[in-house]
């Protein structure tokens, strides 16, 4: 399996940041415009947490709060387990499963690199599984001249 850094590199740069002092409504509008399920929360240019649709539902909607006046900092999740960018996807899966989290903030040294999601890991596992299946379908034989020939089934 690849490293977390490889997976984040495949995702491309993150543009879905919101300031911790923004309103929950602003965060929802950002999520809607990007068809996202979460946004990365920044405070004074530093990673502060993640705000997901689930956070909004549980901490605003179900508590009958006003999305326009509730600050992102009041409802974001800031205690997610973090992972180093050099870790393997398998280690990320184990951590995510053990902590029952859908998001892992990724750091390289002490610098924030991005967020790894359960969907990223699912795509990685599927891709890895598909590659193994293709490799299992290769038959190697020798031709009449003694050269190896690969047949795809």
From the list 98, 105, 103, 112, the residue with the least C-alpha distance to 45 is 112
Q: Span 50-69, mean pLDDT?
A: 97
Give the start-to-end residue ranges of the domains of the chain: 4-152
pLDDT (tens digit, 9 = 90+) per residue, 86-104? Answer: 999 999 999 999 999 999 9
The CATH class that applies to domain 4-152 reads: alpha beta
Report CA 9 to chain centroid distance, whole Å: 11
- Percent of the chain at pLDDT > 90 equals 71
Q: Within 13 Å, how many C-alpha atoms sit on residue 66's CB side?
A: 2
What pLDDT digit, counting tens, does each position of 22-38 carry?
A: 999 999 999 999 999 99
Among 66, 50, 144, smallest CA distance to 105 is for 50
Nearest CA to 120 among 27, 30, 9? 9
């Amino acid at each position: 399996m690849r490293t977390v850094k490889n997976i984040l590199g495949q995702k491309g740069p993150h543009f879905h940041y919101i300031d911790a002092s923004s309103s929950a409504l602003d965060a929802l509008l950002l999520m809607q415009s990007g068809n996202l399920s979460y946004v990365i929360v920044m405070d004074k240019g530093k990673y502060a947490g993640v705000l997901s649709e689930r956070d909004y539902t549980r901490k605003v909607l179900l508590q009958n709060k006003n999305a326009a006046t509730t600050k992102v900092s009041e409802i974001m999740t800031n205690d997610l387990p973090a992972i180093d960018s050099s870790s393997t996807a398998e280690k990320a899966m184990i951590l995510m499963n053990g902590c029952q989290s859908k998001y892992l903030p990724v750091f390289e040294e002490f610098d924030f690199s991005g967020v790894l999601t359960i969907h990223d890991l699912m795509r990685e596992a599927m891709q890895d599984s598909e590659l193994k299946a293709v490799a299992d379908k290769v038959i190697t034989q020798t031709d009449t001249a003694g050269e190896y020939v690969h047949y795809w089934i």
